[in-house]
Amino acid sequence: MSPLNSLFKTAQLALSDAHTALDNLTESAIDLTVPNIRLGVTGLARSGKTVFISALVHNLTAGGRLPLFDAAGTGRLAQAYLQPQPDDNVPRFNYEEHVETLIKDRLWPESTHQISELRLTLEYESATFFNRQLGGGKLHLDIVDYPGEWLLDLVLLKQDFRRFSEEAIKRAKARPNLSNDFLSTLARYQNNLHDEFSEDIARELASTFTEYLSRCREDENALSMLPPGRFLMPGDMKGTPALTFAPLDLGTIQTKPKANTLQAMMERRYEAYRKHVVRPFFKNHFAKLDRQIVLVDALTAINAGPEALQDLNQALCEIMGAFRPGKSSWLSSVLPRRIDRILFAATKADHLRREDHDHLEALLKQLVDQAMNRAKFSGAKVETLALASVRATRQATVHHEGIETPALLGTPLPEETISEMMFDGEEEAAIFPGDLPEDLKDLFSSQEDSNNSEDRSALKYVRFRPPKLERTAEGITLSLPHIRLDSAMEFLLGDKLA
């Protein structure tokens, strides 16, 4: 190639690059004219984060029934559609697969195990006459899904290894039926703290500690305070040194451990977890949120008993502390003061009779109020709500021997049981789940201490399959049914679409 042709080719490439850069700049400038809101969706295991996001997007894009979401209820919402998310380094929330699982398979999608994101664009007309004359509005809604267990790691940022160990072992000793293997392993290596580090010992301690945390999370226990959060949801960090540590019983030892001992390496890995896992999550993701919904599975905690509810209360205190650090707080260097609306939502309201929805919301409000007081919370607007992102049951009345009994009609999941009856996951059943007590304090006391032990023992909430979608006379399949999903949308988004 001649020098002249080479120069011409270089000029063409440079011009092409300039055009590409100009196009990207133009697209960015156009996009900057559209306001966006980043909505964080979190909750502890099995609280329904994936179902909430899927149902929200499905109802907005499919024209679902949302009378209490003002923009939709008044006909001002023109359309909603998915677009590429703004963060290319964050996994996309797999909306299409999750909706297919809900609608076609009538199964609940897999739980959240990592952070993910989705962008939904809403086009709407303003509620005011003046703004309507200026043309239609548009809003980008960036939904950020992340495990609530990661949020509980916030407490680790203010705990050194000694304090973390003390708190973790204290909790473990209070749960001997769940932690016996871990505590036994810990005792076996108590005299090895100052010996040369052994990777085999570290792995055994980390493994038994993780197994203990996993047992705590099972439905029959439903405990919530289980940091470090990545131990149960390691993702691509599984097996890394930052996740291969465990709390140690340091007793009265105050001297700094010698290098390369078991104690020194456990402390080092704990610090690596705080530095490379916890702090980046809060600075790179959590700190960028504008609004937040925290989903709470109170029913599973009620099923498990008073200890699970008390543990949930403590977890909510820690979660609440993450949202609004005070001006002089040590958190101010990690989290800016951005989130201005927080909704705590008790999920699975469809597992209760309609008359008990207010009691469920009252229970959540009681838990959140205590958390707010203990966390010295101020700043954001906070609401509570009982909802079902996807309503899996219908209210029904059973007639038996001249007696009418209110019940829930739905398809229990396979192997769900009540008394001696086990369900096959195919047939519908009418179930009376029991009533929440008028005095919610009874839920926090043992049956031996409660005056309403019979009512407590009658409470049993089974899990149901997603419903078959209804079809209109014209053959149109309706969107996923819900309970108060539109109320949640109105609180979180309504002011942005006014």
Confidence band for 42, pLDDT divided at 50, 70 and 90: very high
Confidence band for 105, pLDDT divided at 50, 70 and 90: very high
How high is the pLDDT of residue 357?
94
Q: Give the mean model confidence (pLDDT) for residues 46-59.
A: 95
Residues 299 and 241 occupy one common structural domain: no
Residues 183 and 88 occupy one common structural domain: no
Distance between CA 409 and CA 432 in Å, rounded? Answer: 9
Q: Which amino acid is at 310?
A: Q
> What domain range includes position 182?
158-277
Q: Give the mean model confidence (pLDDT) for residues 81-86.
A: 95
Question: Tokens 């699975």 correspond to what residue?
Answer: 348
C-alpha separations of 121 from 57, 144, 178, 235 in Å: 10, 14, 46, 29
> 169: how many CB neighbours lie within 10 A of its CB?
19
Distance between CA 185 and CA 206 in Å, rounded? Answer: 10
Assigned domain for 297 exists? yes
Q: Give the mean model confidence (pLDDT) for residues 426-449.
A: 80
Assigned domain for 147 exists? yes
Q: Give the mean model confidence (pLDDT) for residues 453-475.
A: 70
How high is the pLDDT of residue 404?
83
* DSSP result, 309-352: HHHHHHHHHHHHHHH---TTSGGGGT--S---EEEEEE--GGGS
| Tens of pLDDT, residues 331-356 | 555 555 578 899 999 999 999 989 89
Report the range of poorest mean pLDDT among 4-13, 96-105, 390-399: 4-13
Average of per-residue pLDDT values in the chain = 85
C-alpha separations of 205 from 181, 195, 208, 263 in Å: 10, 15, 5, 12
Report the range of poorest mean pLDDT among 149-158, 375-384, 396-405: 375-384
| Tens of pLDDT, residues 238-277 | 889 999 999 999 987 777 899 999 999 999 999 999 999 9
Checking if the pLDDT of 475 tops 70, the result is no
Checking if the pLDDT of 57 tops 90, the result is yes
Contact status, residue 66 vs residue 124, Cβ threshold 8 Å? no
Confidence band for 370, pLDDT divided at 50, 70 and 90: confident
**Element spanning 40, H or E:** strand 36-43
Question: Of 253, 277, 301, which closes a domain?
Answer: 277
Assigned domain for 222 exists? yes
Into how many domains does the chain fold? 2
Between residues 401 and 231, the one the model is more confident about: 231
Distance between CA 21 and CA 13 in Å, rounded? Answer: 12
Contact status, residue 414 vs residue 420, Cβ threshold 8 Å? no
Q: What letter does residue 144 receive in the DSSP assignment?
A: E
Residues 213 and 333 occupy one common structural domain: no
Assigned domain for 325 exists? yes
How high is the pLDDT of residue 194?
92
Distance between CA 74 and CA 79 in Å, rounded? Answer: 13
Residues 242 and 364 occupy one common structural domain: no
Q: Give the mean model confidence (pLDDT) for residues 58-81.
A: 95
Residues 179 and 126 occupy one common structural domain: no
Tokens linked to 333:
């260097």
C-alpha separations of 93 from 53, 54, 186, 361 in Å: 9, 9, 39, 29
Count helices and strands (H / E) in the chain.
16, 12
Confidence band for 214, pLDDT divided at 50, 70 and 90: very high
pTM above 0.75, yes or no: yes
Report the range of poorest mean pLDDT among 113-122, 476-485, 489-498: 476-485
Confidence band for 453, pLDDT divided at 50, 70 and 90: very low
Residues 332 and 367 occupy one common structural domain: yes
Between residues 459 and 428, the one the model is more confident about: 428
Assigned domain for 341 exists? yes
Checking if the pLDDT of 462 tops 90, the result is no
Residues 145 and 52 occupy one common structural domain: yes
Residues 205 and 120 occupy one common structural domain: no
Contact status, residue 209 vs residue 231, Cβ threshold 8 Å? yes
How high is the pLDDT of residue 36?
93
Distance between CA 275 and CA 273 in Å, rounded? Answer: 6
Q: Is 240 exposed, middle or buried (0-12, 13-18, 19+ CB in 10 A)?
A: middle
Short-list 111, 368, 335, CA closest to 232: 111
Residues 350 and 489 occupy one common structural domain: yes
Q: How far is CA 2 from the centre of its chain?
A: 63
How high is the pLDDT of residue 12?
47
Residues 365 and 491 occupy one common structural domain: yes
Question: Of 213, 247, 277, which closes a domain?
Answer: 277
Give the CATH number of the domain where residue 72 resides. Answer: 3.40.50.300
Query: In degrees to the nearest 10, what's the CA dihedral of 207, 212, 215, 216?
Result: -140
Tokens linked to 313:
């209360």
Residues 138 and 187 occupy one common structural domain: no
Assigned domain for 17 exists? no
Report the range of poorest mean pLDDT among 86-90, 305-309, 432-436: 432-436
Residues contacting residue 384 through CB under 8 Å, at least 6 positions apart: 343, 344, 345, 346, 361, 364, 365, 368
Side-chain-side CA neighbours of 400 within 13 Å: the count stands at 6
Q: Give the mean model confidence (pLDDT) for residues 143-158.
A: 89
Q: Is 310 exposed, middle or buried (0-12, 13-18, 19+ CB in 10 A)?
A: middle
Between residues 130 and 228, the one the model is more confident about: 228
How big is the chain, counted in residues? 498
Between residues 373 and 44, the one the model is more confident about: 44
Question: Of 226, 251, 277, which closes a domain?
Answer: 277
Short-list 70, 138, 111, CA closest to 492: 70
Short-list 215, 212, 213, 204, CA closest to 245: 204
Residues 147 and 293 occupy one common structural domain: yes
Assigned domain for 473 exists? no
Assigned domain for 120 exists? yes
Phi, psi of 261 (to 5 degrees): -90, 170
**Considering the chain, what percentage of its residues have pLDDT values greater than 70?**
84
